[in-house]
Amino acid sequence: MDIRITPTKLRGSVEAVSSKSAAHRIMIMAALCRQPTHLLLNSKNDDMVATGRCMAALGCGVEELEDGMLLTPGPVPVQSPTLLCGESGSTLRFLLPVAAALGCGGTFVGEGRLPQRTIAALVKELRSHGCTTNREDGLPITVGGRLCGGDFVLPGNVSSQFVTGLLMALPLLPQNSRLRLSSALQSSAYVDLTIHIMKKFGVTVEIAENGWDIPGNQTYTSPGTIAAEGDWSGAAFWLAAGALGGDILNTGLDMGSTQGDKAFVDLLAQMGCPCTTEKMGIRSAGNICKPITADISQVPDLAPMLALLCAAGGQQLHMTGGARLRDKESDRLAACAAAITALGGSVEEQADSLTVHPGSLRGGEADSFGDHRMAMALAIAACGCSGPVTIRGAQAVSKSYPHFWEEYRRLGGKFDVL
């Protein structure tokens, strides 16, 4: 689907969608319980569907409800299932060690760029702790054997999803384990979120120097009913719309959340457009007016919106710490540079950084590269363009925000489907 946007300012109130980061973790932990879990969601997306599909393939009952889903664990995991992960990196990287710990194995299949996204460091640790695989990296991959506890070492600068997968899996083993990092952890807030949700399921890990100690023989216990909190990653797009001359009240967000992407509020303040906290939510309104230097290593999902926001708002940005952006749904450094250039901006792409120069965007035609965050960032950037913007592959938003375009129109956005 291609969309042609006529630039306008967005105004109104929008409720945050359920966090897919939280939902992935809750669904997997619920399947590891002995009791049913009612997961409350106000929205679902393609990535959540992928995790639910894999839970069902492993033998967990997954019943769609009007307010979310009911997950009922099976008596034993299905042996050697085929796990269709779609384009969801979280689904793949979380479930690889979980399936290994359960001893059921399975064949993991992906779509889009997922087969090319690296899992080598995680696979290496699985293979050195009792598991077999038919390949060292990439998809499809078949895992066999049963994971054994012990000492695990992962790089912290490749994917925090590797860490989360092992943290969820290792408590299932009879042995105690240690997980250590060989380099500084990036996207650490996602690991904090994992540990926070694990506690709600009665499972704990102990923080240690350069990692964690994980007691074995733990049991996941259902909290009964649990809600996936509002998503700060999705809210960042609407916050940016408010900072491009709009006025958006974002509701349904937890200001005390462990989600790292709430840092977008601080980034807006640094650019001279502070948000205001109100009784009903958080409001962004005005225009960014200051240049910014930002290390994106802890919040890589904010990179597309930050880059396009600065380009559309005419402010200089020097964004560092972006090496991992090349292993996302698109090569996001290259995609951001291509999008800004296509819309008439000036940008320099480096190996792990991006520099956006002051100027204005005239509009034009840009590709989403099949990346949901690029499609949404381009839609918001259109609010600051002088002419129409055509987005190729606009349907990519369904990965995390299926009703994004309906919300965009409701807030005053003007577009035609081509």
Q: Is the dihedral of CA 228, 333, 186, 136 positive or negative?
A: positive
d(CA 21, CA 41): 12
Which among 227, 243, 281, 295 has a CA at the least distance from the CA of 18?
A: 227
Alpha-carbon distances of 23 from 9, 39, 275, rounded to whole Å: 32, 8, 27
d(CA 65, CA 23): 14
- In sequence order, the β-bridge partners of residue 276 are 283
Radius of gyration of the chain (CA): 21
Burial grade of 157 (CB within 10 A; 0-12, 13-18, 19 or more) = middle
Residue recorded with tokens 């779609």: 86
416 catalytically annotated: no
First to last CA, the chain: 7
Residues 6 or more apart from 49 whose CB is under 8 A from it? 86
* Catalytic, out of 47, 261, 301, 367: 301
Distance of CA 47 to the CA centre of its chain: 9
Beta strands across the sheet bearing 276-277: 11-15, 244-251, 282-287, 276-277
**For the stretch 50-61, what's the b/e string if a residue is b when 16 or more beta carbons lie within 10 angstroms of its beta carbon?**
bbbbbbbbbbbe
d(CA 290, CA 314): 9
Decide if 319 contacts 350 (C-beta within 8 A): no
Residue 314 in tokens: 């005419």
Decide if 45 contacts 18 (C-beta within 8 A): no
Which conformational region is residue 223 in: left (phi greater than 0), alpha (psi within -120 to 50 degrees), or beta? alpha
Q: Which residues have a catalytic role annotated? A: 301
